[in-house]
Amino acid sequence: MKSIRLIYYDEIDSTNEELKRNINNFEEFTVILADFQSKGKGRNNREWFSPKGENLYFSFILESKIEIKYLSGLPIIIGFSILKILEEFIKNKKIYIKWPNDIIVESKKICGILVEYYKNKIIAGIGLNVNSENFPNFQENNPTSVKLETGKDFDRLIILKIFLKKFQKFYLEFQKVKKIPDNILLEINDKLFLKNEDVLIEFHNSFETGKIQGINEVGALILDNKLIYAGDVKKIRRRGK
Ligand code: BTN
């Protein structure tokens, strides 16, 4: 395992932002962990609910040696690592990856991942709802937490440690083959949220509709016969359903 430097803050605006401010001082696998974020960021400028002492809010830097065109699978690899941990803790419930990288338990969102490319480095920020029991209304997707799903409190540091170990293993494989490894892709496609469902993909001011067929080896979503590289997936509800 590559050595990891962990920097802890009682409070920070956003762990992604703190990494950006220090991008030239921190090496690969520097992890910023915070107990509270005053300006937790989600994708598309959404807010990420980050109450003190309840959940995991952390970000780390990667300096990928592989070319940018191969990097689109990386968020999926991160999401897959979280999925594998959650499967160890939450038994008898279906856990899914929602493309590109949300983690869903049954139909509720438990984890969000924000990957940013900044000054030729990759900043991966993870918000995993561990012990929260109440969520404000602003959060989309009907949030849940490990505690709500299991009835138990969890040690956040133990979860972080398991994540880093698992992720490093999958990341090494990913860098070697320059795509999502076949066995991982197979499992992801088996656990893909809204597979075979009609969805709407929103991207800035445009959208696409179609049926989700799967994810390909570079992490693109296969929507009918189109490949989608970015966007937000929404289920289309048919009348009467
Ligand atoms: C999303 O689903 O919209 C992504 C949420 C990402 C939240 C994490 S919490 C740690 C890191 N710092 C942030 O400000 N955001 C990410």
Q: Distance, CA 239 to ligand 1 centroid (Å)?
A: 34
- What whole-number distance in Å separates Cα of residue 14 and Cα of residue 40? 5
Q: Give Cβ neighbours of residue 217 (< 8 Å, ≥ 6 apart).
A: 73, 179, 180, 182, 185
Beta strands 30-34 and 221-223, pairing class = unpaired
Q: Distance, CA 8 to ligand 1 centroid (Å)?
A: 16
Report which protein residue has its CA nearest ligand 1's atom 16. Answer: 125
CB 60 within 8 A of CB 5: no
Question: Which residues does a 6 A CB cutoff place in the pocket of ligand 1?
Answer: 14-16, 37, 40-43, 46, 48, 57-59, 102, 112-114, 125-127
pLDDT at 239: 60
Q: Distance, CA 58 to ligand 1 centroid (Å)?
A: 8
What would the two tokens of residue 233 be? Answer: 């997936």
- What whole-number distance in Å separates Cα of residue 42 and Cα of residue 225? 29
Q: Distance, CA 42 to ligand 1 centroid (Å)?
A: 5
pLDDT at 237: 75
In what helix (H) or strand (E) does residue 88 lie, and over which residues does it extend?
Answer: helix 74-89
In what helix (H) or strand (E) does residue 164 lie, and over which residues does it extend?
Answer: helix 156-177
Report DSSP state, residue 71: G
Report which protein residue has its CA nearest ligand 1's atom 2. Answer: 112
Mean pLDDT for each consecutive 10-residue tract of the chain (241 residues)?
Answer: 89 98 93 98 92 97 78 92 97 95 94 93 96 81 92 97 96 92 97 96 89 96 94 79 49
Report which protein residue has its CA nearest ligand 1's atom 11. Answer: 125
pLDDT at 122: 93
pLDDT at 141: 66
